[in-house]
Every structure is written in structure tokens, then in C-alpha cells.
Amino acid sequence: MTQTDDDTAMAARQIVSTLVPREAMKPLMMKSNGPAAVHLLAHLLLIGGLAYLVGSAQGHWLVWPAMFALGVVLTHLFAPQHECAHFSAFKTRRVNEVVASICGAVIMVPEIHFRYEHTKHHSYTNLVGQDSQYIPLPKSLFHYGWYLSGLPYWWGSLSGIAKRSLGRLSEEELGFIPVGERGTVIWEARAHAALYVSLALAMVWGWSAPVWYWLLPMLLGQPVMRFIRMTEHVGRPTLLNLLQNTRSTQVAWGWRFIAWNMNYHCEHHLAPTMPYHALPKLNRLVRDHIPVGRGYPAAHREIWRHVSRPG
């Protein structure tokens, strides 16, 4: 870690230590394989059930809402990938790596690259020009809709994979990817590129399954993921203050399930290595001291207040 990474982690620990007694914090940090294994199995079974609905609805207009539902759950494979990138979902490091890599392949987010990019996000959370995953406050209804469409996401993801597969790393990437890992990141991109080109050729040659069970669902579901991702930091102060720059959101159980508790986002930034299943307990201990929204629509209303009254 860089000095800034160390400083950020230390600041997070100091904040948590003032809000939560050590004896209450210690059991929340304990890792195990069981909860994530059960959760992942349930997530995959839900994907399988929705895929069955897509297959059953072929030739009927209901195939579109079925694909939309499947896409929402598929794109939320970002949640287990994210947890595993922190090595906090499972106790076993290798299991975290394998699960994160598979989920990343499905959603077109190469895992090793994401892990280093996400580390910088935690080091410079919501700082303009420094946060590698910064989502800007939309300037207008057009910019708001453009981001929610998912098109910038797909362009950024696919163009990034293409450039890295050619051995080209951006100046920003050179800043957050360690020298010794750059070759690995390039070969990772090449493996992803080979996978997606193979799937594209298979679809051109008439294999329709990836279209109905992956490509179209992902396109339909990605705007929901963009809608949720905006609620985490957009509209919060662009300051390196973990009690201000991140928003948690109270949502129904179903959303918590597919998001793997990432609605408790401020809690996650306060304790990035805490297992996701312990975040609700941390929320009960710190919720009076952090920004908490009541539902995703409420968070977007807050965002729009900043858009309509900039500055």
C-alpha cells in the first residue's frame, strides 16, 4: 500500500474506534466460508430460476420482463466479485480469487484490474481527479439518463479490455497497478478478450443461448445497477471524510440479498475488510453518525437537489 492508502486505512480505524467499542468490533471482523458459500449458492439458484423463466417465455412478450429480471440479478454478480476482491467474503483467499474472477468474467470486469482500481477508490473516495471509480454529479437530465443507460459503462469496460489486451495501460492505470502485476493484468485482459470474441463468433454462427441468457439480460439489467451505484457517493461531499463522502441506504431484504449488503456502503468504507454479512450489525452501531437514505429513490431525489441547485 502507498502512504495515502495507509493514511486512509488508519483514518477509518480511528473513526470506527471512536464509534464502536473494541470488544464489539472484534467479533464482526471474524471471517468464515459458510455464510458466503450459502449466499453464493442462493444467488446462483436465483439466476438459474430466472433463466428457466426466460426459456419458458420464448416466443412470448413475457420473455422481455424475464430477461430484465435475469439481467438485474446477473449484473449484481458485481456484488460477490466486490466482496471477494476485498478478500472478505470467504476466509480462504484462493476461494475469493476464483469466485471474483468468474463473476468478473460474466459481467466483463476483469478481477485483478478491478482489485487494484478499487483499492485506489478506497484511498481517494469521491475525490475528483483522484478516485479511480468516481461517478460525477450529472449536469443535466441528459447526462443523468446517459449514465443510467449503461452505455458509458459498456464502452469503458470493453475499450479498456481491448487496450490492455494490446499491452496499453493508461497513465492512471500505471499509477494504481504495481509494476510486478502489469503483465498479469495485460494477460488477464487478453483472456477476457478471447472469451468475448469467441462468444461473439458463436452468436454470429447461430448459437442463440448467449443472446437470450446473457447479452440481452445484461443490457437490460445494467441501468438498474447504474441506478444503485449512483446512490453510494454521488451527491455527497467531495472530501476525504468517510463520515461524509459515502451514503448508506435502507432497502428491502431482496435488494440487500442481491447486493450482498452493499447498501451499507458507508459502513463498508469504514471497515473495508469486514465480512459483508456483518455490515448490518455495524450499521446498528454507527447509523446515528453516518448519512443514511431511505430507499434508492430517496437517494436519487437528494442527488437531483444538487443538480438543480449546483454549488
With cut-offs at 50, 70 and 90, classify the pLDDT of residue 57: very high
Q: State the chain's mean pLDDT as an integer.
A: 93
If we measure between CA atoms, which residue out of 73, 38, 36, 31 comes closest to residue 52? 73
What is the amino acid identity at position 198?
A: S
Q: How far apart are CA 138 and CA 106, in angstroms?
A: 28
If we measure between CA atoms, which residue out of 36, 49, 71, 65 comes closest to residue 227? 71
Summarize pLDDT for 2-54 with one digit per residue, the tens. 444 455 556 666 777 778 888 888 999 999 999 999 999 999 999 999 999 99
Q: How far apart are CA 67 and CA 55, in angstroms?
A: 9
Res 280 pLDDT > 80: yes
Q: Please tell me which residue, 12 or 55, carries the higher pLDDT value.
A: 55
Judged by average pLDDT, the poorest of 56-70, 159-173, 287-301 is 287-301
Res 103 pLDDT > 80: yes
Summarize pLDDT for 60-100 with one digit per residue, the tens. 999 999 999 999 999 999 999 999 999 999 999 999 999 99
Rounded to two decimals, the pTM is 0.92
Domain boundaries, the chain: 3-306
With cut-offs at 50, 70 and 90, classify the pLDDT of residue 307: confident
